């Protein structure tokens, strides 16, 4: 008889209402604070509050990870990754809008 092992996966759902500190965002993304600060300076993510008490929305985790993937996989610099991310998000918005319009026609 085979023994089955079950792995348990836990996590948190992060959205626009979620808030993370700089250190929490660093842990969630596996990046040092200096890298996160560079992303803020480039405009990739926008913190709330003053620099000593920055708070980041849960959406920032997704943006940081996507930028890292773009840099790693495509070899683009930070500015290029930021631009690509903006364009990808615009495509997602347009696709969602198109899907809504098409569903009204049915």
Q: Which domains does the chain show, CATH number per domain?
A: 19-105 (1.10.1660.10)
Q: Is residue 15 scored above 70 in pLDDT? A: no
Q: What is the pLDDT of residue 84?
A: 93
- What b-and-e string marks burial along 19-28, b requiring 16 or more CB atoms within 10 Å of the CB? bbebeebbeb
The DSSP line for 10-55 is ------TT-EEEHHHHHHHHT--HHHHHHHHHHTSS--BS-GGG-E
- For 20-73, the pLDDT digits (tens) are 999 999 999 999 999 999 999 999 999 999 888 999 998 999 999 999 999 999
Q: What is the pLDDT of residue 69?
A: 93
Q: What are residue 55's phi and psi, to 5 degrees?
A: -130, 140
């Amino acid at each position: 008889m085979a023994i089955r092992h079950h792995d348990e996966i836990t996590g948190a759902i992060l959205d626009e209402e979620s808030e993370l500190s700089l250190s929490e965002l660093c842990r969630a993304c596996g990046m040092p604070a200096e890298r996160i600060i560079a992303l803020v300076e480039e405009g990739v993510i926008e913190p709330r509050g003053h620099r000593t008490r920055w708070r980041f929305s849960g959406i920032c985790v997704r943006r940081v990870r996507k930028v890292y993937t773009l840099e790693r996989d495509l070899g683009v610099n930070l500015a290029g990754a930021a631009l690509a991310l903006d364009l990808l998000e615009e495509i997602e918005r347009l696709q969602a809008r198109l899907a809504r319009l098409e569903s009204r026609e049915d």
